[in-house]
Amino acid sequence: MTLDEMPRDRRGVVTALDTRGAERRRLMDLGLLPGVSISAELRSPLGDPTAYEVRGTLVVLRGHQARTVHVELEDR
């Protein structure tokens, strides 16, 4: 699934970034690298944007960015 589909009460592991160039670079700089654990923390009323917790800080992504981040749900 992609990050925007991940349920609020779960954590996921980033498996891939389906984007290129500056956008990809930026996501990686913000700590979204394959193998990193991530969770959705704060959602705006319509879900876009959403704040995610990754490597100890909150990172806010728009829906179109979150859709490029592939995740696998972690076991509860």
Partner 1 sequence: MRGPGGGTEDLPTPRPGPSQDTHDSHDAAPGCASCALSTGGARLARLGLAPGRHDHVVALAGNPNTGKSTVFNALTGLRQHVGNWSGKTVARAEGGFTYGGARYRLVDLPGTYSLLSTSADEDVARDALLFGQPDVVVVVVDATRLERNLPLVLQIRQITGRVVVALNLVDEARRHGLTVDARHLTRELGVPVVPMAARRNEGIPDLLAAIAQVAGTEDAPAPLRLVHKDPALEEAVTELAGRVAGRFPGVPNARWVALRLLEGDPGIEAAVRDGTLGELATPATPVERAG
Q: Which residues bind partner 1 (CB under 8 A)?
A: 22, 25-26, 29-31, 55-57
Q: State in angstroms the smallest separation of the CB of 2 from partner 1.
A: 22
Q: Which one, 31 or 63, has the nearer CB to partner 1?
A: 31
Give CA angle at 14 (38, 2), nearest 5°.
90
Beta-sheet strands, E only, within the chain: 11-17, 37-43, 50-54, 57-61, 69-73
Residue with Cβ nearer partner 1 (10 or 26) = 26
- Closest distance of CB 50 from partner 1, Å: 19
Residue 35, Ramachandran bin (φ over 0: left; ψ between -120 and 50: alpha; else beta): left
Report the residue number, 3 or 54, with the smaller CB distance to partner 1.
Answer: 54
